[in-house]
Amino acid sequence: MISGRRVVDHSKPTEEQNLVLWAQPLLKDKRKFTLIVDLLLEDDYPVNGLYQALTVAAMCLQAEATTRPLISDVVSAMEFLAKKDVNGDDEENDEHNFYSSTEDDDTDCNIGGYESDSILDCKKQVN
């Protein structure tokens, strides 16, 4: 959704054919987040919303199934982001609202090998 790319695209250079393998290194460096975004968006998107959507994406890419979010949590998070954008909500409390809107428990988030400054700090872990 974020990149506008297919999961596997043989028309891309070899190192870019697999979406996951291409995106994972970019997710580790906040300065490279914009390289993931579909060029058709032409920089017309809320940056904080991008960070939150990439947080969800990074959680979905965890190698161990037990550390990936449930699909219902992914749907809830994306619905929140879509609703926030449509309602034109301000970004002042985005991080708090994003996590509190999906909290069903009070566990801490573990997003694996990603450093907390490269992806928004998470507030919950999905078992």
Q: Are 36 and 51 in contact (CB under 8 A)?
A: no
**Taking the model in full, what pTM does it have?**
0.64
Residue 80 CA to its chain's centroid (Å)? 13
SS3 124: coil
Bridge partner residues of 8 (DSSP): 18
Q: Are 73 and 102 in contact (CB under 8 A)?
A: yes
Q: Which domain holds residue 47?
A: 1-127
CA distance 110 to 114: 9
pLDDT in tens, 66-87: 999 999 999 999 999 888 765 5
Q: What is the pLDDT of residue 86?
A: 59
Mean pLDDT over 104-122 rounds to 40
- Report phi then psi at 102, rounded to 5: -115, 5
Q: Which two three-digit tokens encode residue 115?
A: 């450093």
Q: Are 23 and 36 in contact (CB under 8 A)?
A: yes
Q: What is the pLDDT of residue 111?
A: 40
| Domain count for the chain | 1
Q: What is the pLDDT of residue 105?
A: 40
Q: Which two three-digit tokens encode residue 72?
A: 């219902």
